[in-house]
Structure formats: structure tokens, C-alpha cells
Chains A and B, each alone.
Chain A
Amino acid sequence: MGSKIPRATRLAAVAATVAAMGLTAACGGGSTGVPAAGPASAPASGDPANPVTLKFWSWVPDIQKAVDAFNSAHPGIKVQLETITAGPDGGYAKMLAGVKAGNAPDIAQVGYDSLPSFLVNGALEDITQHAAPHAAKFVDWQWQTGVFGGKVYAIPQASGPMGFYYRKDLFDKWGIQPPKTWDDFAAAARTIRQKDEDAYISTFAANQAPWMIALAQQAGQEWFSTEGDAWKVTIDNPDTRKVADYWQKMLDDKLVKTEADMSNAWYKDLQTGGIVGWIGGSWGDAIIRGNAPKTSGKWAVAPIPQWPGASAFTSASWGGGSASAVLKGTKHPAEATTFAVWLNSDPQSVNILLSAGYGWPSIKDTGQITNLQKDDTVFPFYGGQNIWDVFKEADAAVSSDWRWPPVSDALYASVTDNAKAAVQGEGTLADAFAKTQQAMVEQLKAKGLNVATGG
């Protein structure tokens, strides 16, 4: 963690922040360092003479810079960052334990997919009155991930809209167009196998539940919804079966690899051309750049292939995304909300987070995010392409109907365990999703939640 930032940078950051604040103030949003007179919903910014201290837990690299910028701009609030392990690797367990023990942070990094679990565990603070005025700043589907029963519990930070990363140099050499539809994708996969016996279009990452779920999400039918006061589980649905059958055929025809993504084997394949494509989230650009630096300039990004009969271009988000949640037991919900909103909507802060590779911003107006217009580290790697245009379009094409269940951890474990078994030849991927459907109904019931009949 680069928590020590040279003073010059800090000053520059502060200067930029002040400039940015002028801009946001002009747009009628953003919080200023001075307590604003007027409506009760004005952002709480504490008393500079007696600052409020907030604890913030996150695992986003370089987020310290954004926290420093916030602290400089808000003398009445002092945010202390504590870096923790990523949520699924124990960070969430630590947060939930903290809430139980009464020493949780005020604000925490929580994935969209885990917010319902936090809610069911009674770990989130209702911040509706402080947060509601800011709703218009954020992309609707991302804002909705932190809203339950009409109450706001979290401020969205970033998502991972999906695109198709591919080796443009090899595609050109083999005369393959970037696939527009899933049929094109299968045809391209077949051509690649004929052109180079060591190359595959991609891997089928059975280890990666959020990825498989995103593919299902893109096909249309959501997996979880609410009906009155009951959860409805519809994992085993025609759209998802279509996706399962498609990839099953890809596996049967040996058109894709089956190694885990983001594993050493997979990185090696990216470096050597053993794998020439990846359907990945917007943050994946950094993964490829970091792990296959020698392939610089040879990649490009295309929109995710489409299913026939889709009425409009549809994408999905990898594992949803990530939010700043205000945790139960905070003594300063107003100030915590001020921080969470600023962190995720102030252009200065969004620029810092974007350059740290944290994902696609949750704000509607990305016009002031300079890194999205011109990025001298990212674009050259992708042959000069402005890849953010692809992801901007993708993020706008994510369905707002998708709801995460309060058992997403169990969902992930079930999807990966069943998909791994299917890849090994125990039943098909369609069977795997049917098994997951059954497991999730049981999980919800075991927690005492209502499950609607017939799904």
C-alpha cells in the first residue's frame, strides 16, 4: 500500500480537489468543507474544531490517495483507512464479526452481491435520510443494489461491465472478425483450433462463479426476485439452460480450455498465446496488462457477443460490483454517508480509483473523469483503442432487474462446485445449474426466509 504520498502530490491532489469541488458545486452536488446552510439534507461535514473520526475498511489498492484527498477537503471529518483482505477471502467475515463485537468500521467495502447477506446478518445501517438526495448522481442499476425495501444502506462504487478482450494481431492473422453473436464466438473458437493447435479462444472458468453468473445474467432471466415477502428462485430457467447448453457444447467439442482463470497456468497462456481471448470485466484490462506485459499493443476489446433475438444490446456485470456500505453501530451515519458519497462521486476521487483499476465508475456523468477520455498507460496496450467506450456502452446495457440473494456466498460455492463437477464429466452444466437451484431453495429455507413456491 502506498500510504506515504509525497507532499507535492498531496498538495496537487488538494488543489485538484478544490477545483473539482468548484465544479461539483456548480452541478448542484458534492459536499463542501463548509457546513452548508439550508435544507436538512445538506451533507454533514462535522466540526473542524472537533473533527469526527471514521474508520474505513477496504482492500482497493491505492484507495488511500482518495481518502487523503477527502480528509484534506473535509477538515471536520477524519477518515482512517485500514486495509483488509478482500471480502470473499475473509474480509467480510472480519466485518461481520466486528459488527457482532461492536468494533466494526463505520464504512466498509462490500460487493453488491454481498450486501443482501450483510442485511440479513443485521450488519447495515439505514442511511436513507442522508443518502437519498444523492441518488440522481449514480447509474440506476448500481444505485438499486444498495436499496432494500425502499431504504438505502450503501453507496455504489464501481461495477465490472463485461467485454471481450482478444488478441487482435492473431485474429487479423487468421482472418477472424471479433464475434458479434455467440454463434460467431463458437465459429471463431473452431477456426482458432484449426489455425493453431496450441491456441484456444478462451477458458471455461468453472472456478469463477461470478463470471458464469454474469453470462447467465446476460442471457436475460434473473435468478432471484422477490414476490411479496418471499424470495423466488429461478436459476433453472430456459435462458440459463441456453447458456449452459452452449458452453457444454463448447466443452464437448474441446473448443475451450478448462483451466482456472487468474491462475498461474492461465497467466502463462496469456503470455504465450495459448489463450487468445477473455470475456472479462472492465477491470480486467489491468489483469492482462500486469500479467502479459510483453503482449502490449496486440490486444483489443470488443462488445460481449449477443444472443440471437435480443431486442437491444445486453451486457452484464461481473459479480455486480462494489459499494461503500455504512455498517451497523456507527455513531456518525451522516458523516459516514458524506464520505461514502464523496469517495464514489467526486471526480477527483473517481479518477484516483479508476487509475487504481477498481472497476467502472457508478456515476452517470463520466464526462469529468479525465482517465476515461485519454489514458496513456491503458490505450497503447490495446493498440491505441479507447477501450472505455466499449465498457461505457456495456455498463449502460446491464439489466436493473438483477437481484442478489442474501446467500450469495453459498450461491458462489454451489455454482463452482457443481460446474467443476460438470467439467469433469459428472453430468452436464445444465444439471449443475439445476442442482444449484435446489441448493439455493434449501439454503434460503434453512435461514428461515420465505421462498415462493414454484421456484
Chain B
Amino acid sequence: MTGVLHKEKPDVRTGADHGRPRHPRRSRSHVAVFVAPFFAVFALFFLAPIGYAVYQSFFKLTSSGLGLTEPTLDFAGLDNYVTALTSPAFVGSVGRVLLFSLIEVPIMVVCALALALLLDSAQARFRAFFRVSFFLPYGVPGVIASLLWGFLYVPQTSPLIDMLAAAGLPHDFLGPDTVLLAIANISTWQFAGYNMLVLIAGLQAIPQELYEAARVDGATELRIAWHVKVPLVRAPLVLITVFTLIGTLQLFVEPLVLKPLTTAINSDYTPNLAAYNQAFAQSNIHLASAEATLIAIMSFVISFGFLRLVNRKGNRAW
């Protein structure tokens, strides 16, 4: 792309273009034709709604007296942002998803990597079958997955809980201390297979000669996995970590579906749930927009912060 977009300067001294074979302007108009449809849709369905949400976040509806007269729409400056950031419920929900990220990201990366390495090992049998089975949960919509697991978490409907209780194992999945882990379990079940596929794609790009060289040197499968494969899939590893980070910060569907099943999840359990609650339960679109904008900024800062961290020392992952 850079070659195409690189602006070629005409000869400054003569102002003439010395009969270059490639005509920069024409090639650029080609590009424009091809990317225009994408940019049109991108602007209409992505940039415009975001812009509108940010715009909405600077206003608020003000009533007066008993509220029997029409409210007025006033410019509120950063009032909504101040309200969100000084609300213990919203700040608490941010803390909760950060804690959730700390738990969920390592679990997810380790699970996905383990599955990928198992399937990629020389001894693996029925690879296609297992690859599809691991990937299958990703095809289940989040709401359905949460409902399925919800049934397994509730004592009255779960076949698991009776077994665990009989064996004397802990079996309260929806208590205040365990519900976050219960949610982490649903997310891992859903996305580990997808992330595994990303890693497998990376593993299959590794030239076979490297393995042969390692075997000649007497390396075992385990050593090959750890010293050859893992360093070479660093880029996809970073990628799935960033995806998981963003996903955990935007946690929404699982707590929403589990909320009716437990007293441990309230309406501000995660930042996204808090924004949803403001928008759709309390009809405060303006505060909801401010909260949504804050969530976006937070995801942006954390994911790019992480990329800066892993890309320091000049060894770029991607």
C-alpha cells in the first residue's frame, strides 16, 4: 500500500514530470474507486453512530418543578462524564472487569495455546474432528451459551450440582465470590476454540525444516513445542491476548443472562451493563453515551498499552 500512497514529488527545478512509467494520480484514483464503497459503509454504520454517541454525551435533559412540562435539552459539557466517574457503581464495575481480565486473559491464552499445541503435535490423531469440536462452541451465540450454562449453574435444574454435592465438592456457582469465575468459564468455553484456530494457523506457517533441524539436534516434542513453536507464534498470541482483553472489558451478555438467576449480579455489574441499564431501563441516553464513550476509551488505552508493552525493544509482534 505504501508504494501506491507514497506521494511522488514532481521535479522541483523544472516543474516537469520526467516521463515516469507509473502515474501516481491515476493509480491513486484506482485505489479510491476500490476503497470508496468500504469507506462509505464504514462511515455510515461505524463512524456516524460513534460520532453521534459522543455528541449525545455532551447534552442532558433537564426538567423543572414537578416535571409536568416538557424537558429542555441543554449542553452539559463534561457533566455526564463527571457523573459516571463519580458514581461508585460505575467505577466499581470498571474495577470488576479489570479483575475479570486478570483472571480471564491468562486462562484463555493458556487454554487456547494448549489446545493448539496438542492438535499440532506429531502424535495427534483425528485432528479435523477435534479441531471442529473445539471450535463448535464459538458457533453458539453468547445468549444461548449463557442460558445453557445458566441451567447447569442453578441447583434446581442442574444435574451437575447434585453430583458435586454428593462428592462433597464446592457447588455454589452463583454466589457472590464465585459468579465471576462462573462467567469466566462461559467465556473460555465460548472463545478458546476460536483463539486456538488463530494459533493453529500461525503454527502451520512454520517451516517443517525447523522441526527437522531440532529433531536432528535431539529435541523432544515438548522441547520443540516450547522452544520452537511458541516463540514463532508470538504474533498470533499477542493478537488473541488483545482480542480477549477487549472482550473482557466489554463483558455484557453473560452477566445480563445470568442476572435473573442470582442475587450476586446487579444492574451495574459491568460497565457495559451499566450503560445498557442507563439507556434502556432508565431512558438516560446521554449518561449512557458518556459511559459507552468511557468504555471505548478504556478499551483503546488498555489494548494499545498492552501492544506498546509487548512491542518495546524493537521486536514488533505485529
The chain A residues found within 8 Å of chain B, CB to CB, are 88, 90, 92-93, 96, 116-117, 119-122, 148-149, 206-207, 226, 229-231, 258-260, 263-265, 268-269, 274, 406-407, 409-410, 412-413, 416-417, 420-421, 423-424, 446-450
Contact = CB atoms under 8 A, between A and B. Distances in A.
The contact size tier of chain B is 20 to 34
16 contacts: A120-B67, A121-B71, A148-B68, A207-B260, A230-B65, A263-B154, A264-B156, A265-B261, A406-B67, A409-B282, A424-B264, A446-B83, A447-B63, A448-B64, A449-B63, A450-B64
Contacts of A148: 66, 68
B63 to A, nearest CB: 5
Contacts of B67: 116, 119-120, 406, 447, 449
Nearest to A226: B66
Nearest to A418: B266
B83 A258 contact: no
B281 A409 contact: yes
Contact of B71 (A93, A122, A207, A410): A122
Contact of B263 (A117, A229, A230, A424): A424
A448 B281 contact: no
B204 interface: no
Contacts of A409: 281-283
A229 B65 contact: yes
Q: Closest 10 A-B residue pairs measured CB to CB? A: A448-B62, A268-B156, A122-B70, A120-B67, A417-B266, A420-B263, A265-B156, A229-B65, A409-B282, A93-B280
B156 A406 contact: no
Interface in B63-116: 63-68, 70-71, 83, 89
Contacts of A229: 65-66
A188 B202 CA distance: 66
A149 B66 contact: yes
B277 interface: yes
A264 B151 contact: yes
A213 to B, nearest CB: 16
B155 A206 contact: no
A93 B263 contact: no
A442 B236 CA distance: 48
A116 B156 CA distance: 39
Interface centre among B61, B62, B63, B277 (most CB of A within 10 A): B63
A449 B281 contact: no
B304 to A, nearest CB: 33
Contact of B281 (A258, A413, A423): A413
A424 B68 contact: no
A416 B263 CA distance: 9
Interface centre among A90, A120, A148, A268 (most CB of B within 10 A): A120
B176 interface: yes
A449 B65 contact: yes
Contact of A413 (B65, B262, B267): B267
Contacts of B264: 420, 424
Contact of A447 (B61, B68, B260): B61
Interface string B138-171: 0000000000001100111100000000000000
B257 to A, nearest CB: 12
B283 A258 contact: no
Q: Identify whether the interface residues of B are mostly helix, strand, loop, or mixed.
A: loop
B268 interface: yes
Given A92-B283, A421-B266, A269 B66 contact: no
Nearest to A150: B68
B238 interface: no
A116 B65 CA distance: 13
Contacts of B66: 148-149, 226, 229-231, 449-450
A94 B176 CA distance: 33
Contact of B63 (A269, A274, A406): A406
A406 B68 CA distance: 9
B207 to A, nearest CB: 53
Contacts of A446: 83
Interface centre among A96, A424, A449 (most CB of B within 10 A): A449
Contacts of A90: 280
B232 interface: no
A420 B266 contact: yes
B266 A268 contact: no
A416 B63 CA distance: 26
Given A413-B277, A413-B281, A424-B263, A264 B64 contact: no
Interface in B276-313: 277, 279-283
Contacts of A263: 154, 260-261
A412 B267 CA distance: 10
Nearest to B262: A260
Contact of B65 (A92, A93, A450): A450
Contact of A265 (B70, B154, B176, B280): B154
B242 to A, nearest CB: 32
A264 B156 CA distance: 8
A149 B66 CA distance: 9
Interface centre among A88, A90, A206, A417 (most CB of B within 10 A): A417
A410 B283 CA distance: 9
Contact of A260 (B64, B65, B261): B261
B282 A265 contact: no
Contact of B154 (A92, A264, A416): A264
B116 to A, nearest CB: 36
Nearest to B157: A264
Given A121-B283, A207-B263, A263-B261, 11 more contacts: A121-B71, A148-B66, A148-B68, A226-B66, A258-B263, A265-B156, A265-B157, A409-B283, A417-B268, A424-B263, A450-B65
B83 A93 contact: no
A269 B156 contact: yes
Nearest to A420: B263
A263 B262 CA distance: 10
A93 B267 contact: no
Contacts of B83: 446
Contacts of A406: 63, 67
B157 to A, nearest CB: 5
Contacts of A258: 263
Contacts of B151: 264
Nearest to A271: B156
B74 to A, nearest CB: 9
Nearest to A88: B281
A137 to B, nearest CB: 25
Nearest to B72: A448
Contacts of B68: 119, 148-149
A450 B62 CA distance: 11
A326 B67 CA distance: 18
A54 B62 CA distance: 31
Contacts of A231: 66
